[in-house]
Amino acid sequence: MLGRIHQKLKDWQDALGRRYGTDITTPAARRAAWWHFQLSDHAFLRIWWHNFATVAPGLFRSNQPDGKRLAAYAGLGIKSVLNLRGASGQSFWLFEREACDRLGLPLIDLNMSARRAPEPEVLLQLYDLFQTLPRPILVHCKSGADRTGLAAALWLIWVEGKTVEEAMGQLSLRYVHLSFGRTGILDHFLRFYARERDRTGIALIDWIRDGYDPKALAESYRRYEAKGKLGDW
């Protein structure tokens, strides 16, 4: 029931975005896109709530920034921006692209999901971006809770050499991430890998390249949820 309601709301937002939020080239279109950004993308909720934090010396995390915040982050020394929402062409992305171009910040778009098993190709792209983007990097999604939390955890593992157990703190209520329900599959991705690490000693990046199966992860998460986090998952 809740899933159907969420999908209907998302479909409505997407339709609204296609009508009002895909152009900022004229004053009228820009005004419409601004209102779309504020209401449909919920930017008004992020006026004071930024979900901003330092992950490590080379990485900061936040929710969707506007142009003013991007300018402030550039003043903190941010050298590049990694957007995990993808290049949607809607208002949030148009304003972000405009601001990054104005500030001279590279903006890289990577389409990740908060509610599905991460795709190995996307994770490998993320790994490569972490090696090549100018640092410090600002990584964000919409709320800065789920996709951003997983990316921050992977940074700690890949770049800082932290354990999975240490890195999982990036997926927590502190950042408004819920570890149950559909977004809990991101926690389970790390939990599932940790079991493979303990069994075989495989490194995370090697497991993603050679052993990770998103369908097996999704099935395991269904068992994990159904059995109350106990039993054979």
> So what's the pLDDT on residue 13?
57
Average pLDDT on 148-170 reads: 98
Where along the chain do its domains lie?
A: 1-40, 46-226
Q: Report pLDDT for 20.
A: 67
According to CATH, what is the number of the domain 46-226? 3.90.190.10
d(CA 17, CA 99): 20
pLDDT tens, 91-128?
A: 999 999 999 999 999 999 999 999 999 999 999 999 99
Beta bridge partners, 142, equal: none
The whole-model pTM stands at: 0.89
Percent of the chain residues topping a pLDDT of 70? 91
What is residue 29's predicted lDDT score, i.e. its pLDDT? 92
Average pLDDT, the chain: 92
pLDDT tens-digit series, residues 174-228: 999 999 999 999 999 999 999 999 999 999 999 999 999 999 999 999 999 987 7
- What pLDDT, in 10s, does the model give residues 63-89? 999 999 999 999 999 999 999 999 989
Question: Residue 78: what residue type?
Answer: I
Q: pLDDT (tens digit, 9 = 90+) per residue, 42-53?
A: 989 999 999 999
Q: Give the span between the Cα atoms of 12 and 195, in whole angstroms.
A: 40
pLDDT at position 21 over 60: yes
- Separation CA 212–CA 109 (nearest Å): 23
Q: Are β-strands 80-83 and 59-62 bridged in parallel, bridged antiparallel, or unpaired? A: unpaired
